[in-house]
A = this chain, B = another copy of it.
Amino acid sequence: MATKSKSSSKKASKYVYFFGGGKADGNGSQKPLLGGKGANLHEMTRIGLPVPPGFTITTEVCTYYYANKKTYPKVLTEQVNTALAKLEAVTGKKFGDRQDPLLVSVRSGARESMPGMMDTILNLGLNDETVEVLAKKSGNARWAWDCYRRFVQMYGDVVMGVQKVGKDDHEPFDEVMDHLKEEAGVKEDTELSAKELHILVDRFKELIQKRTGKEFPQEPVKQLWGAVGAVFGSWMNDRAIVYRRKYHIPHEWGTAVSVQTMVFGNLGDTSATGVAFTRDPASGEKVFYGEYLINAQGEDVVAGTRTPQPIAKLKQEMPKAHAELVTVCKTLESRFKDMQDFEFTVEDNKLYMLQTRNGKRTGLAAVRIAVEMVDEKLIDWKEAVGRVPADSLTQVLAPIFDRKDRDAAVKGGRLLCKGLPAGPGAASGRVVFNAEDAEARAHKGEHVLLCRVETSPEDLRGMIAADGILTARGGVSSHAALVARQMGKICVCGAAEIVIDYTARVMQVGGHTIKEGDFISIDGTLGEVYEGELKTAPSEVAQVLIAKTLDRKQAPTFQRFEKLMKWADKIRRLGIRTNADQPDQAANAIAFGATGIGLCRTEHMFFEGDRIYAMREMIIAETKEAREAALKKLLPLQRDDFAGIFRAMKGYPVTIRTLDPPLHEFLPHDAETQRETAHKLGISPEKVAERVAALHEANPMLGHRGCRLGITYPEITEMQTRAIIEAAIQVRKEGIPVKPEIMIVLVGFRGELQNQLEIVNATAKKVMEEKKTRIDYMVGTMIEIPRGALCADEIAKDAQFFSFGTNDLTQTTLGMSRDDSGSFLPHYQELEIVKRNPFEAIDQAGVGQLMQIAIEKGRKTRPDIKLGICGEHGGEPSSVEFCHRIGLTYVSCSPFRVPVARLAAAQAALKEEKAGKTREIS
């Protein structure tokens, strides 16, 4: 900004920047003034690339235009004329010339790309005379007349405003064209002859005259000013305004207009046009990559009417141009320090560069390019860390479908439907509709995909057994999605088109009937569901770190990933923990770089094997004594669970959350399982059903759960504390240090924490006395309801740490159930009432505000209070940055999100460092 205002005050009267003949008035750093496209055209000219010459009218003219009732600065005409004269001199062509007429394109270009939002006019300079010259010169009258009719049509539409009026109006130019094709007896535009196109041009001109009362201008300079005005005008069209609002682009920026000599890739077999990348945008490999078409215009490559050729083939067809392009790649990267996505045209064997910009890439590619560019000394390591979108790492970590196989499936009509991409990766397997079937088939070695309307903790064993999960209902934070991410399971959820009939064991989707046992495939990265089996491959990183089936030396992707992670760790300050309930999850998280467990849920443990029956016995118990007897059965199991986790964590801190979900979640809800449970427990099925009914809640999310359970049933907290302390003592005896942190959940009142704290401390003391030893442990609380945050000063009197449970905090602060939000949240995003799904990215203005209140109040009471986050947001980059900014100690996320969080934390630190430097300078 400083640069810009300086230059604008110095060169207040320079509105037109010329480029061409190896020189350019502007350069690549002037995006605010010349627009992204413009600045890069100047830059490419400067570094000697073959750019068709032209000039750029600055964004300041656009600002002036709107500030001054759509008029131009007085000096503009003169500057444009000068530039035009220079352009004619450099090209040797002249506007309206009968020998060599100058044709130009007029394009918009804002500081940031706004694809398709504003207007472009091509072939400007054509008129009734120059079209004939062009026809003669090219020896291709049809082509010349086609260029002219396109120009008249585009100009008539964009500049002169010949557009359909009402809903029922036809596109006026199309209507004329259709009439003509009927007369000529042809179906395609391309079948029209030069003569017929000539007639078409005449009719277009008539149409313009009729609709606007004005004639199509034959004078090229007049055409030019009309086009410039139209481009500036398009900055304020509805589409552009909406787009800018959506992407937070200020209206004040304005657009620049670039006027550039036309070149043609469709002048015969010595001409071509193409789109290319300096490296492979899918894999990141440093190879010249792209596609082209001989004798074609730029739009043809994109339109897909002809199949483009891979760029390698150009080496054979146009060896000179190919060689030049290879050099261009090097030049571009050494200048722009990033992988470039560029457009080129070969006109009669001569190469022209029409555009360049930083190329979009997959996560895999992003990592490879960033790391290799450091190796190549193009960028430094900090630049590399900042350049890889943290989220894109999930793609590096997830197994994926074979691309060809997937495309074939789509083409073959086997794409059944789309849902929410909830658990990245790809999985194929046989369809099952309940947990038992999933387990049974998995036990037989089959790959299965569990398909449910929605999932609950009851389905957990089935989810563990399945390769992937597909649900018809539920958002990205639904139970299915949550479990999926924590376990690194592939999951598509909320695929609303699916209709499941549990009884018939069949589902209907998009006209297909899928029975139990049929194969389907789901892509959790894209949210797609296919019929049949698609090929998959596990990620290389997982093969090295988790499966350990691959040697790191054999794993270049892993090596790059690791390099990037090391750089990230060098700069990040935020600690990274993981949400893990089981030793293998914990081990995975450590492999991925976690240094602690931020959330160990204790309820999932109760679903394993037969222990669910002990849990159910406890819940159905009618007296404290009966409850205690059942809890006694659970104690050794839970102690072993904790011991396993402590061992896996090798001395890293482990935050264990006391029992959280409402008890009815542990009870069976269907008659059959109720009978089975009754049989196992030796009671009547009616008794089970009665208890299920008694525990039913209108709003379980706001019901009898969390510490409310531990308060009404203190013996549960007692058992859990005993299990934790006994496990800790046991594991420490084995020589492994342990750091248990007991987290009391759903605290809103200080009294709740005090109540539970008393039980925890008394039980711990008792166990330590029994075992004649001491274990250091902490007790803290989850801040996950607004009152907890608002009264954090009170709660901090007893809490040694806070962990923000942003899942529930979001639900309560927004009054929005994540399971039910699917019926309106997508609509909210469309209407832009919310920018992002608040269950994915922290709602900083609301939930974030409460977090800040809690931090401020908590620190007032206890300045050294440890602060973490254990909601699913802990692995989402913008949320990680927010957590860094508000001063948390750590974030905790699912194991497979740990690398993402590490990178996001590093980027947050980098951003802060940069902001600090900027502050220092100014």
Contact = CB atoms under 8 A, between A and B. Distances in A.
Nearest to A474: B698
Contacts of A828: 711, 749, 751
A889 interface: no
B702 A816 contact: yes
Given A831-B755, A834-B751, A845-B791, A824 B702 contact: no
Interface stretch (A543-551, A557-565, A779-787): A779-787
B808 A785 contact: no
Contact of A699 (B702, B712, B833): B702
A701 interface: yes
Contacts of A790: 813, 845-846, 849-850
Given A785-B814, A790-B850, A752 B697 contact: no
Given A790-B849, A790-B850, A817 B748 contact: no
Interface string A755-787: 100000000000000000000000000001111
Interface string A820-837: 110110011001111000
A22 interface: no
A812 interface: yes
A791 B833 CA distance: 14
A321 to B, nearest CB: 51
A790 B789 CA distance: 12
Contacts of A746: 815
Output the residue of A815, A843, A847, A850 with the most chain B CB within 10 A.
A815
A811 interface: yes
A190 to B, nearest CB: 40
Given A746-B815, A787-B846, A823 B699 contact: no
Interface in A798-818: 808, 811-817
Interface string A677-692: 0000000000000000
Interface string A612-624: 0000000000000
Interface in A705-758: 708, 711-712, 746, 748-749, 751-752, 755
Contacts of A821: 703
A817 B834 CA distance: 26
A701 B819 CA distance: 12
Contacts of A833: 711, 749, 751-752, 755
Contact of A701 (B698, B824, B843): B698
A827 B711 CA distance: 8
A834 B233 CA distance: 63
13 contacts: A698-B819, A699-B702, A701-B817, A703-B823, A711-B827, A755-B831, A755-B833, A786-B786, A787-B814, A790-B850, A791-B845, A791-B846, A808-B815
- 8 A-B pairs with least C-beta separation: A785-B815, A751-B833, A702-B817, A787-B846, A703-B820, A699-B817, A698-B819, A786-B786
B749 A698 contact: no
A319 interface: no
A548 B790 CA distance: 49
Given A699-B820, A786-B812, 20 more contacts: A699-B699, A699-B817, A700-B820, A701-B815, A701-B817, A702-B811, A702-B816, A703-B817, A703-B823, A711-B833, A746-B815, A748-B815, A748-B816, A749-B834, A751-B833, A755-B833, A785-B814, A785-B815, A786-B850, A790-B813
Contacts of A849: 790-791
A814 B815 CA distance: 11
Contact of A702 (B704, B787, B820, B831): B820
A828 B751 CA distance: 9
A787 B808 contact: no
Nearest to A750: B833
A834 B748 CA distance: 10
**Copies per complex of this chain:** 2
A827 B815 CA distance: 26
A824 B702 CA distance: 12
A686 to B, nearest CB: 12
A58 B438 CA distance: 78
Given A702-B811, A786-B850, A815-B784, A824 B748 contact: no
Contacts of A808: 815
Nearest to A748: B814
Given A786-B786, A787-B843, A791-B846, A708 B813 contact: no
A828 to B, nearest CB: 7
Nearest to A848: B790
Contacts of A820: 697-700, 702-704
Contacts of A791: 845-846, 849
A756 to B, nearest CB: 10
B700 A700 contact: no
Given A748-B815, A813-B786, A824 B704 contact: yes
Contact of A846 (B697, B703, B748, B831): B748
B819 A699 contact: yes
Nearest to A828: B711
A808 B815 CA distance: 9
Nearest to A478: B698
B812 A813 contact: yes
Contact of A831 (B751, B784, B794, B834): B751
Contacts of A827: 711-712
Contacts of A811: 699, 702
Given A752-B833, A787-B843, A846-B791, A698 B823 contact: no
